[in-house]
Each structure stands twice: as structure tokens, then as C-alpha cells.
Chains A and B, each alone.
Chain A
Amino acid sequence: MKQDRYARVRRAARAHKIAGSVVAYTCLTIWAVIVLFPFYWMVLSSLKSYSAYNAEYIPQFYTLAPTLQNYLDAFTAVDLGRYFFNTLVFTLITTAIMLVVVTLAAFAFARLNFRGKDLVFTLFLALMMIPNELVVITNFVTITDLNLRNSFAGLILPSVVSVFYIYLLKENFAQIPDELYYAAKVDGTSDLRYLLRVMVPICRPTLITIVILKVIECWNAYVWPRLITDDARYYLVSNGIQEIRENGFGRENIPAMMAAVVVISVPLIVLFLIFHKKIMAGVSRGGTKG
């Protein structure tokens, strides 16, 4: 009698658990579809021919006659190759300069002693609170006055420094035991050499995180490049997309637009698929979007 009741209790508990995971999996799958669908749709549309796409009053979920023509158009009809190249240059140079500046500053804060260190560091932290929108106006005027509009210098210089990354790296540097520094000093190692040969290798995970975050930020940069470039020769991919949307291909050549969108999205997605563990760990350690 009692055992029957116990078995019922157990079955009820089991059923409850199974019902729970069915609900969980259903919700998760639905959202996964919503996340992935735009990607599927852009690839699908990019493979449909222009005429086939426009003939579909009711959109089709597959295509039987895929074509790569749109990709050809994307690179020939508009200067997608150049936008791509510009973005690459912009991303690499910005990230490289950022890395040097940030590393040096973080080293000074973490390792060296100087008068006013706490004050300066507090000021730096205070700058973290300043939204970009507040400074972008003057920067726009400054760059215009320096005649640096439509140039890489104008694009890159104001995008270099991020106080947050200095902070992140400084915290990481500070965790390295002092003994290492003193040992290196006793051996006659210079500060710079110690930084490059000891601190940088030890903190490589953090540096990689910073680089990845900065690359994502640069690749998706839109607002500043839009302000500072109106010459298509200096467009980055985001501006290129906006340009294509408004003027390129003729407004209705959506398959070609989608091909361009695919081409632009692929590099970061590939990067993400390779490094997804690192990227996700890095972002959860203190990244913010925007």
C-alpha cells in the first residue's frame, strides 16, 4: 500500500521533472530559431537570383537554383572590396595602437610608483563614466579643423584609447607577485624588458580578451566613421552597408545586398566560431556592448 503511494510520489516527481525539461527545450529551441533565422534568411536570399527573388510574392524558404551571381555583383557593382580593406586596416591599426598605449599605461599604474598615482588613476576611472556621445561633438570639430576628415588618421585617432581596457589590464598586472619583479631587478632586467618578457606573457589571456573585444568593436563601428567620412573611398563596412542600402545596386536588388551582408558578417562569425570560448569568457569578465 505504502510502497504504491511512494512509487506514485516518485513517478509524479519524475513526470514533473520531464515536463520541466520539455518546456525548457521547447523555449530554448524557439529562441535558437529566432536567433539563427536572420542568418539563414540572408544566406538564402543571397543565393536566389534577382529575378527569382522578385518573382516571389510569397517568400520561399528554400531555393532550388542557387546562384553566386550576387556575390560577383556585390564586389563589382559597389566597392565592397575597398570597404572590406578599409575596415581591415582600421581594425588592425586601431587595435595595435590601443594595445601599446593600454599596456604601457597599465604597467605604470600596476608596477611603478610615482607621485599622484592614485589621483591620476581615479581620474582615469572617472573618465569611464563619460559617454561617447558627449565627446564626439568636439572630436568631430577637432578632426574637421585638422583637415583629417576622410583619412585613416581621422578615423583611428579618436577610437584608440579605452579606459576600461587600461583598468582591466591593470587589475590583471597587479596580480603578478612582486617577487617576480624584484627577482628580475636583481638580475638587472630593465622595466621595459620585464614588461615584455614577463608581464605580457603571463597576462596573455587578458590581452587576447582585450584584442578580441576591440576587434569586434572596430569591425562594427558605425557612428564615428559615418561622421568623419563622406568619401566612399574611406567607407568602412557598416557605412558601406548603409550606402548600398540607400544608393547601391538600385534600391530593390535585395539578393545582392544580402550577398554583401553575408560577406561582411562572415569574418567575425568565423572568428567567433574559432574562439567562442575565449570570446564568451572575455565578454562575461566585463565587456559591455556599445
Chain B
Amino acid sequence: MDKQNKKAWLYLLPAIVFLGAFMVYPLIDVFVYSFEEGFNSASQTYFGVGWYNYAYVLRDPYFLQAVKNTFLLVIITVPLSTGIALLFSVALSSIKPLRNLFQTVYFLPYVTNTLAVGLVFMILFKRTAYTDGLVNLMLSWFGAGPVDFIDGPYWAKMFVLCFYTIWVVLPFKILILTSALASVNQDYYNAARVDGTSRTRIFFRITLPMISPMIFYLVITGFIGAFKAYSDAVALFGTDLNAAEMNTIVGYIYDMLYGNSGGYPSYASAAAILLFAIVLTITCINLLVSRRHVHY
């Protein structure tokens, strides 16, 4: 027994070393950082312990901007992407020919480099001296005026960010929902058909409740993922997100840590812990709601 004990720990050792060094220790350390006031990364010194870092971050207009952006992004993209994914999944499962082709195409964005394709989106939406860009060309077909989506008004930039975010997260959601739909026993639909149930009623009274656990799973992971949005914004608006008014909370953390405005790990830590607290709260609320609505 003792021998097997030792052997087991030996097998676990690499994982424990990696996790200890790069997850457990940092986890403790980040709290320490967040309470060390006036930390100087050059001299590795600080002159106090307290809530100052939190107070600073909460008063920083860049942080408040980032919080606003992130919340807008979450509130817009999570319901919208889940709804759209549901729509396409239902459409996908209602057809037979070409279903696999569509599914494969829809999954494509999942495997692409967010930064690389973001660049393409930027070009499609961007307005320069030489061209209004493709999206503006299409808008002009409907008589809408050219809008600079990348350097223009706030709502336009937010629109592009949301659009791109949805484009990026949809593959995963469609995949999960189509397999959830496929796992619903066909007999339920046959039973409903024999009883003369209308399509809408089948959808709301049978399909939706049956896949509700998966929908809640997607909403919860969707919230968590959207709160961590960052590279989508970088892809569209470049690394200086504060200047573009398009920073996200995660972007704020990284900017505090590194880059032109960097060198403040204490502020970054405080912001990271605030983000974690927000995500945790929202996830708990989600779980409470889902427990009330998912019956099995």
C-alpha cells in the first residue's frame, strides 16, 4: 500500500508541479498583490496594505469604460447568439440533404485564428480614404449612408464587436444545440404529431423543455466567455483599446500589467479579482435560475 502511495504521487508529480507553480501559487499571489499599495515593480517594494488598489481601479475612467463595454457586449451577444444558434440548429435538424455540409461550414470559425479573421472583418467594415469598404457599399444599396465602423461612432464600433463576437461563438453553440436536438427521442415528436400538435407548440412545449439543460449550459458558459472578451476587440480595433474606447475588463487587466500603460500588477490584480467576483455572481444567479426552470 505504501509503495503504491509513493508511486501514485510520482505519477501525479508533474501535474502538481505545473499546477502548483502556474495556478495555485498565482491564485494566492494575486490576492496578495491586490492588497499591496503602491507596489513598485522595479524595486519590488510596497508601502502599505489595504483597499487602495480597488478604490483606484473603481475610480479609473478607463476601467469604468471597460466595464460598460463588457456589460454591453455580454447583454447583447449572449442572448442573441444563443437565440440565433437555436434558430439555426432547429433549421438544421429539420432538413436532411446538405445537413452535414452546413454543419461543417458553420463550425469553420471555431478553428480559425481570432486575430487573423478579425483583421478581415476590420477590412470589411473599415472606411478609409481610398474606399468606403464592402459593408458600406452594401449599406449604400439600401440608401444608408457610409459609417466608419472601426474609427467612427461608439454604437458602430460596438455593433462590429458584437457582430464579430457572435460570428466567433456561434459554431460552438450550434454544435452543442444540434447534438442536443438530435438526442431528443423521435417518439416524442411522433406522439405530438399524432395528437395534432402544431409546430410552434411542439417547439415551445416539447423541444425547448427537452433541450433546456443544454441551453442553460450555453448561457452560463456564454456569460463566462463574454465577460472574458478581449482578443476579438484587439483583432478589430488594435492593441490600444483605451484610445478606441473599446477596451474590455480583461483588456484593462492586461494593459495595466504590460504595454504602454503597464507596470501596475497591483491594479491589474484588483481588476482581475473584481472581474472574477462579477463572473462568479452572475454564474451563481444563472445556476439558481436554471435550477428553478430545468426539471430533470
Contact = CB atoms under 8 A, between A and B. Distances in A.
- Decide whether A and B assemble into one complex: yes
Classify the interface of chain A: helix, strand, loop or mixed. Answer: helix
Interface in A14-40: 20-21, 23-25, 27-28, 31-32, 34-36, 38-39
For the side of the interface on A, what is the size category?
A: 35 or more
Nearest to A59: B134
Given A105-B14, A138-B25, A268-B111, A112 B30 contact: no
A58 B131 contact: yes
A113 B27 CA distance: 29
A261 B7 CA distance: 48
A268 B199 CA distance: 40
B10 to A, nearest CB: 8
Given A163-B19, A269-B112, A272-B108, A41 B14 contact: no
Interface stretch (A176-184, A201-209, A281-289): A281-289
Given A131-B228, A222-B115, A102 B19 contact: no
A101 interface: yes
B116 A265 contact: yes
B33 A137 contact: yes
Contacts of A290: 225, 228
A101 B18 contact: yes
Q: Which of A34, A227, A258, A284 has the most CB of B within 10 A?
A: A284
B51 interface: no
B137 A135 contact: no
B207 to A, nearest CB: 14
Nearest to B253: A133
B105 A227 contact: no
A246 B279 CA distance: 32
Classify the interface of chain B: helix, strand, loop or mixed. Answer: helix
Contact of B15 (A23, A105, A138, A272): A105
Contacts of A138: 25-27, 29-30, 33, 265
For the side of the interface on B, what is the size category?
A: 35 or more
A38 B272 contact: no
23 contacts: A24-B91, A25-B98, A35-B167, A38-B117, A38-B121, A105-B12, A112-B7, A133-B253, A133-B276, A135-B22, A136-B26, A137-B29, A161-B22, A223-B250, A223-B254, A227-B254, A241-B115, A246-B238, A257-B119, A264-B116, A276-B107, A280-B104, A284-B179
Interface of B: 1, 4-5, 7-9, 11-12, 14-15, 18-19, 21-27, 29-30, 33, 41, 87-88, 91-92, 94-95, 98, 102-117, 119-121, 123-124, 128, 130-134, 137, 167-169, 172, 175-176, 179, 199, 221, 224-225, 228, 230-231, 234, 238-239, 250, 253-254, 257-258, 265, 268-269, 272-273, 275-276, 279
